[in-house]
Chain A
């Protein structure tokens, strides 16, 4: 409870800090929202040209982008500090986090705020509203969408923690973490109908990209209890695994202070 209170306080201060530069903040937010529409344009034209694949229509793709961008936006706006881990580790600035009496992960995550990710969140919300309208969502489906936003956000957070925990293992970790992050993120923005057979198994269980976009859409569309149960179990699995990996990786940290004393 104390940790949540601290996290909320830190997030509030971070938002106030970012909003100080109003023009830059708004440009980042709306620029990112416009930027994301590129994926809608591409996949809608894709469906128009090649037709519906494995029952995946244009509205499903809007739903997929909604889920993927909303969890991306939430995690990387309030938890933007996680993305700074490679830099913190390589410069030795991580020392000050280790000395903090607060929960290490919460302290790192909330140490920075990603204003452009707010644009992703807004874009995601708009997409999901449109998706709900397009599929004539029932009350139960609306509840499912809200529940799945929480689930996908948890999975995305877990994967971000795992990916950026590798910062402790490599010397030039910034490049490596970016590469692994893109490797995970890119397939999550692809037309879900393209994944079938072995490909689907790989991208659900090994590289869980489909868990943050395609699978939630299939759950809402087909009201699939089996898939809902599966995604809940996998969420818990990835979440606990991420905490374990993070704690293990932190032990590998060696201070490499550049005499900046954590500045």
Chain B
């Protein structure tokens, strides 16, 4: 009960804060326009010169798949790595450890709260704009899609937080986690279907995307394809498996990290 109260308080406070200072929303909108906006123009042209279909995929499906990726990215869950590193470097982690809350869960909720407002606004407005511009793929009306999307999204959020949380916890052992963060982040970017939609992946890359935690954190991008109707339970299982494996890794790393903390009070 206490944990739920803390989570809702964090989400409420941060959402109010973001509404009060709209700069973040402007920045996120600019970022989506720069990345997704340009990409969509590029792909509309590419599909046009290729006769409208590439690898049995239409432009509408590819566009929505990429939109899901960029919309998910607005949540900014990956930044949890840097926040944890900052806590360790500044010594803030000692203060947070002494509070009667779970540090990891506090940081998880904090990260969600920071991006929630921009995510909701941009996803609704962007989705609407995309629908008006190109329409919906036919898969959007299937019951499997409607039923599964909230769960695969939730799984993606949990897996992303765990994955980037592990990278952040490395700060207890190595001084600068940035190089590790870059590699993990780019693996998610490539295998998640950001600039190249998953349907256009070569076979080997597609297999890696399916069975690695980097690709599994972005399974939301798979949900718009026809193949989702037949393999959604398989992808759910893979995502769940990675949540369990990496969840335990995070748990044991966090236990080790607590032992590494030395309080150098001043």
Contacts and interface: CB of A to CB of B under 8 A. Distances in A.
Chain A interface main SS type: helix
A109 to B, nearest CB: 22
A41 B34 contact: no
B41 A199 contact: yes
Nearest to B199: A49
Given A45-B202, A175-B23, A194 B41 contact: yes
Contact of B182 (A35, A42, A176): A35
Give the size category of A's interface with B: 35 or more
A116 B182 CA distance: 11
Contact of B186 (A27, A28, A35, A182): A35
Q: Among A24, A30, A176, A179, which residue has the most Cβ atoms of chain B within 10 A?
A: A179
A50 B200 contact: yes
B30 interface: yes
Interface stretch (A137-145, A185-193, A211-219): A185-193
A179 B38 contact: no
Given A178-B27, A190-B42, A183 B196 contact: no
A180 B30 contact: yes
A18 B182 CA distance: 20
A49 B183 contact: no
Nearest to B33: A183
Contacts of B23: 170, 172, 175-176
Interface in B168-221: 175-176, 178-180, 182-183, 185-187, 189-190, 194-196, 200-202, 205
A49 to B, nearest CB: 5
Interface in A76-134: 116
A229 B31 CA distance: 32
B45 interface: yes
A48 interface: yes
B143 interface: no
B258 interface: no
A31 B182 contact: yes
Nearest to A196: B45
Interface in B200-258: 200-202, 205
Interface stretch (B5-13, B49-57, B92-100, B146-154): B49-57
A176 B26 contact: yes
B101 interface: no
Contacts of A49: 54-55, 196, 200-202
A34 interface: yes
Contact of B189 (A28, A32, A38, A199): A38
Contact of B34 (A38, A51, A175, A182): A182
A147 interface: no
A38 B183 CA distance: 9
Interface in B53-92: 54-55
8 contacts: A24-B175, A28-B179, A31-B180, A53-B45, A175-B23, A182-B31, A182-B34, A187-B38
Give me the 5 closest cross-chain CB pairs, A-B, nearest first. A31-B179, A179-B27, A38-B186, A194-B42, A35-B182
